Amino acid sequence: MSLLELIAAADERGLAASAVACLDRCLPQPLDGADPDPLRPLWAGCADASVWPDRLAEVRAALDAAADEQGAAPRIRKLLDEAPVDRAAPGLREWADACSLLALEVHLGPATASAAGAETVRRCREDDLDGAGPLPAGELRRQIRILELLAETAGSSAAGAGLRQVLDVSAEGQRVLRAAVSRRARGRGQGPEPAGDRGPAPAADHAG
């Protein structure tokens, strides 16, 4: 199934978890002293719909207090403000789709601002990777894999294990993106790689 088909078919848990994973991967390298995992509370809401409203409020407050203006941080805060307070709300699918779109745009980078970049993102979401490059192509494969994992474990005793697998896949994607953002910054002469970036920058995105 394509990415758009998987989003259309996902259940509430799948939509919530895939959306949070997309936002998690887009978080910029944390500033010194900042929470390295500010979206952590929302994962509990992905597993248990009854705690989603409280966890969402907690995450919104934490990110508002941080007032981080790096990279995609303002857009992440905006999407969290727009997230349905009720995890069963009809708007959940639309919100998950918007989170998916943001992740692909962030992986494409500054080129997204051009008409050609916007067209590349559109084609990626239709599974046409021609000319997309390794980073957005890897992100597309990652989103598909996460939605497949969530669909495979929906309503089963393996649901918790499925969420842990999603966390692992997303954490690797976060590492890949941060390394790429660091390389872009060095290429623009904006200083060395941020402290705390984990490991050397990979030659290409091999995530499937």
Instruction: Kindly provide the b/e burial profile for residues 154-174, where b requires at least 16 CB atoms within 10 angstroms of the residue's own CB.
Output: eeeeebeebbebbbebbebbb
Amino acid 193: pLDDT: 39
Which residues have CB under 8 Å from 38's CB, separation 6+? 27, 30, 59, 62, 63, 66
Amino acid 91: pLDDT: 93
Tell me the domain boundaries of the chain.
3-187
Amino acid 157: pLDDT: 59
Q: Give helix 12-26 / helix 40-47 axis angle, nearest 10°.
A: 170
Segments in the chain below pLDDT 70 = 33, 111, 113, 156-159, 188-208
Amino acid 132: pLDDT: 77
Amino acid 128: pLDDT: 81
| pLDDT tens figures, 24-61 | 999 988 777 677 889 999 999 999 999 999 999 999 99
Amino acid 190: pLDDT: 54
Quickly tell me which residue has 């997303």 as its tokens.
170
Amino acid 194: pLDDT: 37
Amino acid 199: pLDDT: 34
Amino acid 46: pLDDT: 93
Q: Give helix 134-152 / helix 12-26 axis angle, nearest 10°.
A: 150
Number of helices (H), then strands (E), in the chain: 9, 0
